[in-house]
Chain A
Amino acid sequence: MATTSSRAPAATLALHVEKHVHYITTLDTAKDTLSYHLSEHLRINGVYWGLTALHLLGHPEALPRDETISFVTSCLQPCGGFSSAPGHDAHLLSTVSAVQILATIDALDTIDTTLVAKWVAGLQQEDGVFAGDEWGETDTRFLYGALNCLSLLGKMELIDVEKAVEYVLRCWNTDGGFGMAPGAESHSGQIFTCVGALTIAGRLGEIDGEMLGDWLAERQLANGGLNGRPEKLEDVCYSWWVLSSLAMIGRLGWIDKEGLVGFILGCQDEKKGGISDRPNDEVDVFHTVFGLAGLSLLGYEGLQEVDPVYCMPRSVTKRVLGN
């Protein structure tokens, strides 16, 4: 049953920086398509993904700062939360993106950060987890999002961090991973949110990094790509969720770097730019940013350093968090 590797050698592939910049800055030209208006609920997330990708590519100026601020502030609702686009309801995930965007372009002074932080803090539930909006759907994604944006705003004191940590630990499974709720199957995306939350809370010492690292390292397949759960297909976005988690627990070296770099580069659209989930699929901005962020964590030459906890340029989190 010996395994053979069929991956393309990374050395023969290059990162198409200019093509990716062009792809991201011309995303709006596709706005008459059906898929574009159907992704309206992700609009502000899309701006965060595009902006972060441009910063990692070393082209922070490619998205006009004033227009970015004006769009983000037009999504601020009277309650203090941000919506995905003007005229929608506030949602935690949109609010996290808004704060990340403003932090990245050094424009947090354009909003009332106390109002925003209070709205986010108000979403914490009795058991420590966070809801996404007034509707009450709860998920470790929301818990991480809340800690992410409150730490960027410097307002962690508004929430019960201890209870949030307790909730995360209840989602910890015996295979070393985390699920979206206590007892739920381990999933790389949920692991990123739980490990990120523990890191922000300064409580990473509560978990067994050896066991978690074993589970995460097991996500790499013979073609170099990473999957999100056992017996599932590889996907570029897991290059981020798995790698960033390994980086946070200090075990990035357990991944075969050359194999993964080759897999991500092989998912580029060499003609129009952008990165897809796996080779020869349609590219999108979501997989583009997570592919680039993965390459950055792997130390790929020419990319800006990414912060594994926040998925933002490390230079930005250093400036905002002062560490």
Chain B
Amino acid sequence: MYQERPEWEDVIPLPQDDGALPLAQIAYTDEYAEAMSYLRALMAKDEHSERALEITEHIIEMNPAHYTVWLYRANIVFALGKDLRKEVEWLNEKALRHEKNYQIWHHRQLIIDKLDDSTGEADFIAKMFQKDAKNYHVWSYRQWLVKRFGLWEKGELEYVEYLLEQDVRNNSAWSHRFFLVCGNGQELTEEIVQRELGYVSDNIFLAPQNPSPWNYIRGILQRAKLPMSRIEKTCTYYAPLDNPEKIKSSHALDILAEIYSTIPEQKDLAIQSLDLLSSTYDPIRTNYWNYRKTQIQKAAA
């Protein structure tokens, strides 16, 4: 308890005033309530000290989602000129324990930005991804790192490939690949497009019904201003319209419908693809497939 410790003697704790609304009243455990009342007292005078740092740690330990205390902690760390590497180490443990927390990642961004050095970050992120390779906060943070430290060609693509080998259905990793290939204003040369077409078809082969590589290549072709017919062969391989029993991917059918809808003499094939989607391969979206059919019929009329 803080009230029994001499180094806290000069602080008059500020208790919580919850107001009258029952739905809003806050009940605390005694330990949390006491720590918070001392924190409020220190924050009221904006004290930057070792004991202030200690109390932020205590409260974060109990409630890491309390955003105000993180803000206060960052100010103290910078004001006291604390060892930022040690702060990062301390944060690692917190991040691994509280995967859904936003504040930890923003705090990390402030610290690493000040450190001006991203050494060790990729290793730590790898540990986070071992727990959840689709963690949105961690991916956002990784993209910030790539931009802040210019890591576009420093093993990022290889790392994405490693993650997709672990789980080809990791849409976050596919999204990061798109960010790496297109996010730095690079020109999408024919060589890059060829490389991406090859990579995508290898991965579609592993899981034809996985939406991510299909969405990915659609994005690449669109960005490169190339027609969707560049992947027509891949689509007919996974969705042979002359042998519907062999269809292995609703996404292939979807793209085939898109390709054929632009060619007047093939519009029957487009309609056939959409009918197969609504009758058999993706019936939950029947309303949407029917809408697409009406659009084709309207354009033809």
Chain A residues within 8 Å of B285, by CB: 217-218, 220, 254, 256
Beta-carbon nearest neighbor of B43 in chain A: A89
Contact B280 A85 (CB under 8 A): no
Per the bound structure, the CA–CA distance linking A233 and B140 in Å amounts to 20
Smallest beta-carbon distance A120→chain B, Å: 17
B144-185 vs A, CB cutoff 8 Å, 1 = contact: the mask equals 100000000000000000000000011110011011001100
Smallest beta-carbon distance A86→chain B, Å: 5
Smallest beta-carbon distance A109→chain B, Å: 19
Per the bound structure, the CA–CA distance linking A221 and B282 in Å amounts to 9
Contact B68 A88 (CB under 8 A): yes
Which of under 10, 10 to 19, 20 to 34, or 35 or more describes the interface residues of B? 35 or more
Chain B residues within 8 Å of A179, by CB: 175
Contacts known (A3-B282, A5-B284, A70-B21); A230 close to B211, Cβ less than 8 A: yes
Number of interface residues of A (CB under 8 A): 72
Contact B134 A232 (CB under 8 A): yes
B287 in the interface (beta carbon within 8 A): yes
B14-54 vs A, CB cutoff 8 Å, 1 = contact: the mask equals 10111111111111110010000000100000000000000
Among B3-11, B214-222, B228-236, B262-270, the stretch in contact with A: B214-222
Contact A31 B25 (CB under 8 A): yes
A205-247 vs B, CB cutoff 8 Å, 1 = contact: the mask equals 0000000011101101110100001111000000000000000
Contact B66 A1 (CB under 8 A): no
B94 in the interface (beta carbon within 8 A): no
Chain B residues within 8 Å of A87, by CB: 14, 16-17, 40
Per the bound structure, the CA–CA distance linking A275 and B60 in Å amounts to 30
A180 in the interface (beta carbon within 8 A): yes
Beta-carbon nearest neighbor of A2 in chain B: B280
Chain A residues within 8 Å of B40, by CB: 87
B288 in the interface (beta carbon within 8 A): yes
Contact A70 B19 (CB under 8 A): yes
B210 in the interface (beta carbon within 8 A): yes
Contacts known (A28-B23, A40-B26); A229 close to B288, Cβ less than 8 A: no
A114 in the interface (beta carbon within 8 A): no
Per the bound structure, the CA–CA distance linking A259 and B171 in Å amounts to 25
Give the one of A50, A85, A184 with max B CB within 10 A.
A184
Chain B residues within 8 Å of A214, by CB: 288
A11 in the interface (beta carbon within 8 A): no
Beta-carbon nearest neighbor of A255 in chain B: B287
Per the bound structure, the CA–CA distance linking A173 and B287 in Å amounts to 24
A288 in the interface (beta carbon within 8 A): no
Per the bound structure, the CA–CA distance linking A85 and B24 in Å amounts to 8
A27 in the interface (beta carbon within 8 A): yes
Contacts known (A1-B248, A86-B19, A174-B222); A37 close to B29, Cβ less than 8 A: yes
Smallest beta-carbon distance B24→chain A, Å: 5
Q: Can you identify 14 A-B contacts, CB atoms within 8 angstroms?
A: A37-B26, A38-B62, A40-B26, A46-B23, A47-B23, A67-B21, A68-B21, A89-B67, A173-B219, A175-B215, A181-B143, A220-B285, A231-B169, A254-B285
B→A interface (CB under 8 Å): 14, 16-29, 32, 40, 62-63, 65-68, 70-71, 74, 102, 106, 134, 136, 139-140, 143-144, 169-172, 175-176, 178-179, 182-183, 209-212, 215, 218-219, 222-223, 247-250, 280-288, 291
9 A-B pairs besides A71-B21, A173-B175, A229-B172 with CB distance below 8 A are A1-B247, A85-B24, A86-B17, A137-B102, A175-B219, A183-B179, A220-B284, A230-B215, A256-B285
